[in-house]
Amino acid sequence: MENLELILTKYILGFTLQSFLLVFGVYTFNRQKLEWKEYLITVFMVANVTFFMKLLPISVGVQTIMNMIFMYLVSVIYLKMQPYITIRSTALCVVLILLSEIIVTAAVVAIYGNEAFLSLANNPYKRHYVGVMANIVFGAMVVSASFLLKRRGEYHRSISK
């Protein structure tokens, strides 16, 4: 049962959901129309690279930078997005992920206390709940940004391919 919980929280609601949201965020902040085939292929690539990156014996900050570089390269080379705007969009998404993790961590500490948070963070099966909640907050941020850009008429502006 704990392995099923780990698979669900770490891999499905962790890496995969964050990959869906990260790619959607880059599309949103680039103001580029979502093309489903390319979107799903990119999500699959980003999720796999994230998974393998987490297996490497390197620190989390280095993994984040390498994932960011990979996302940028895939966006520019495969999705044919403009390089300068894609740097900004990728960096903005990573900052929003960090902000969502800070918000969730602060909320958990404020509601349950520091000891309960440390207990949660030290449990290998439960610590991914914070990441799942951070993904939900990040998703709300990206969907809100997409909605606001659509309302202002700035979404899907013409971008040369």
Q: How does pLDDT run across 66-105, given as a tens digit for each residue?
A: 989 999 999 999 999 999 999 999 999 999 999 999 999 9
Tens of pLDDT, residue by residue over 128-156, are 888 889 999 999 999 999 998 887 765 55
The Cα 150–Cα 123 span in angstroms is 41
Tell me which long-range contacts 107-111 makes (C-beta under 8 A, separation of at least 24). 108/133
Name the CA radius of gyration of the chain, rounded.
16
Mean pLDDT of 23-36: 92
What's the mean pLDDT when you consider all of the chain? 86
| Residue 123 confidence class, pLDDT cut points 50, 70, 90 | confident
Q: Give the C-alpha separation, 103 to 50, whole Å.
A: 22
Instruction: Report pTM.
Output: 0.84
In this prediction, residues 95-120 reach a mean pLDDT of: 92
Which of 22, 146, 145, 14 has the alpha carbon at shortest distance from 75? Answer: 22
